[in-house]
Amino acid sequence: MNIRAQANTRSSLYNGNKLKLGLFAANCSSGRAATKVPERWRATWDDNLELAQMADAAGLDFLLPIARWKGYRGETNFHGSVLEPTLWAAGLLAHTKQITIFSTIHAPLFHPVVAAKQFATADLIGRGRMAMNVVCGWNQDEFDMFGIENREHSQRYAYGKEWLQVIRRLWESEGEFDFDGKFIKLKGLISNPKPYLGSRPLIMNAGASPAGQDFALEQSDILFNLLVTPEQGAKAVAAARARANELNRQDIKIFTAGYYVCRPTRKEALDYHRYYVEENGDLDAYDHLLDLQFPNPEARNLHGADALRMRHIGGNGSYPMIGSPDDIAEELKMISDIGYDGMAASFVNYAEEFPYFRDEVLPRLERLGLRTKL
C-alpha cells in the first residue's frame, strides 16, 4: 500500500482551500503573546474546547499545539500552564467533526512504541484527523526535568529520523520486526490497532537549520519555515522547493506561522498591539526565553533588536498581521502568492477574537479565491 498516496486523500489538509488556516498554541497559557494584559489567554480545557468547536464549525483546517514542559518565568510565567498536546488533541478530536488536529511531540522524550500507539489511537478517535508535529528539542532547561541531555544539533535530527522510521513501520507492519539503528535498537516490534483505514497521521516538522530543513523535507508531509519579510519569505519558499525537488519531494506543503490583531480599523489594531506589546509586554519572560533560545550573544543580539523584540512579545517571533479585515486578507494573499500553503496563527485571546476574524476575514479570503465556502 502506498501510504503517502493514502495520506494525500485524508482529511481537511488536502481539501480545496488554497491557503490552509490553523490556530497555533492555544494549549499554552498566553498562547504566543508574552503579555501581562488581563485578557491574555488562560488555555483552560474549557477555553480550548470552545475554540476548537468554533474553528471546526467555521471550516478552519487545523489546530497546532506547542509542546512545552516549563514556563518562561516573568510576571505571567509565559507558557507556565500547558495542556499535554497528545491528550489535548485526542480530547478535541472526540468533540469536533472535520478539522485536522496536530499533537506536537518531542522525539527524544517519548519512546516510539508509546508514541506510535498514542497517535494511532487518537487517529481512530478522530477518524483520520490526527497529525504529528515532530520536534527534536532545543530547550535544555526543560530537558533537565527528564534527566536528558540534548544531543549535538545534527545528531538530534539523525535520532529523529530513526524514531520516525520506527513509528512508520509500527503503523504499517502486520508482522513483528526488529529495528537496528545507530541510536535505536529494538526487537520484536508490533503495534495494533493501526491508524484509521490503513492511512497514517500527517507529519510536520519545523526545522530551521539546514539539518532541520532536510529532515523536514525528507521525513514529513509539511515543512514549516519562518516568514520574517515578504522578500525573505519568498526566497525561503523558493529555496525549500528547490531542495524538495532535489529530494524528489514535490508533494511537500510549506506552512508558516504568524499572529493576528484584527480590528475594524488599522488604527484600532495598531493601538491594541501597542497596548499589549509595548505597554504590557512581559519583558522578564521574554528575556528568559531569549537566554534559553539564543545562549550565543551574537545570535541573541540579532534576535533581540528592537523590531524583532516587539515581534517576539507579540507572537513568539512569528509574522505580524495587524490591521483591518481588508489588511489581514491582503497579508494572507501575499503569503499565499509567495508560495506558502498554510498559516498557523494566534490571537491574544483566541476565543474572543476569532469570531470577528471568522465573520470578516474568511469571506474576504473566499472572494480572493484562497478559500472555498463551507
Ligand X SMILES: Cc1cc2nc3c(=O)[nH]c(=O)nc-3n(C[C@H](O)[C@H](O)[C@H](O)COP(=O)(O)O)c2cc1C
207: amino acid identity, one letter: G
Interaction between residue 104 and ligand X (CB under 6 A): yes
Smallest separation (angstroms) from ligand X to the CB of 74? 18
- Sign of the C-alpha dihedral computed for residues 355, 89, 83 and 66 taken in this order: negative
Interface with ligand X includes 69 (CB under 6 A)? no
Site for ligand X, residues 326 to 365, rule: CB under 6 A: 344
Place of cell 489581514: 328
Handedness of CA 90, 94, 95, 97 (dihedral sign): positive
Kindly state whether residue 67 participates in binding ligand X, applying the rule CB under 6 A. Answer: yes
CB of 270 to ligand X, least distance (A): 25
Q: Which stretch binds ligand X (CB under 6 A): 43-51, 204-212, 267-275, 361-369?
A: 204-212
- Total residues contacting ligand X (rule CB under 6 A)? 15
Q: Taking contact as CB under 6 A, which single stretch among the options 134-142, 164-172, 264-272, 320-328 is the one that binds ligand X?
A: 134-142
| Residue corresponding to grid cell 537549520 | 209
Task: Say whether 103 sits in a helix, a strand or coil.
Answer: strand
CA-CA distance, 292 to 294, in Å (whole number)?
6
Report if residue 135 touches ligand X, rule: CB under 6 A: yes
Interface residue with ligand X, options 195, 207, 258, 325 (CB under 6 A) = 207
Q: Which of 30, 139, 280, 336 lies at the binding interface for ligand X (CB under 6 A)?
A: 139
Segment holding 100, helix H or strand E: strand 100-106
State the nearest-atom distance from the C-beta of 150 to ligand X, in Å: 10
Q: 148 and 111 in contact (C-beta within 8 Å)?
A: no
Residue whose C-beta lies closest to ligand X = 212
CB-wise, 89 or 269, nearer to ligand X?
A: 89
Choosing from 128, 212, 314, 315, the residue that interacts with ligand X (CB under 6 A) is 212
Distance CA(9)–CA(136), nearest Å, equals: 27
What angle do the packed helices 210-219 and 153-172 form, to 10 degrees? Answer: 10
Tell which positions 234-263 bind ligand X, by CB under 6 A. Answer: 257
Contact region with ligand X (CB under 6 A), list: 10-18, 54-62, 130-138, 295-303: 130-138
Residue with cell 488604527: 267
Residue 37 near residue 348 (C-beta atoms within 8 A): yes
Q: 205 - beta bridge partners?
A: 223
Residues whose CB falls within 8 Å of the CB of residue 210, separated by 6 or more in sequence, listed in order: none
> Binding pattern to ligand X, positions 217-236, x when CB under 6 A?
-------x------------
Binding stretches for ligand X (CB under 6 A): 66-67, 104, 135, 137-139, 206-209, 212, 224, 257, 344
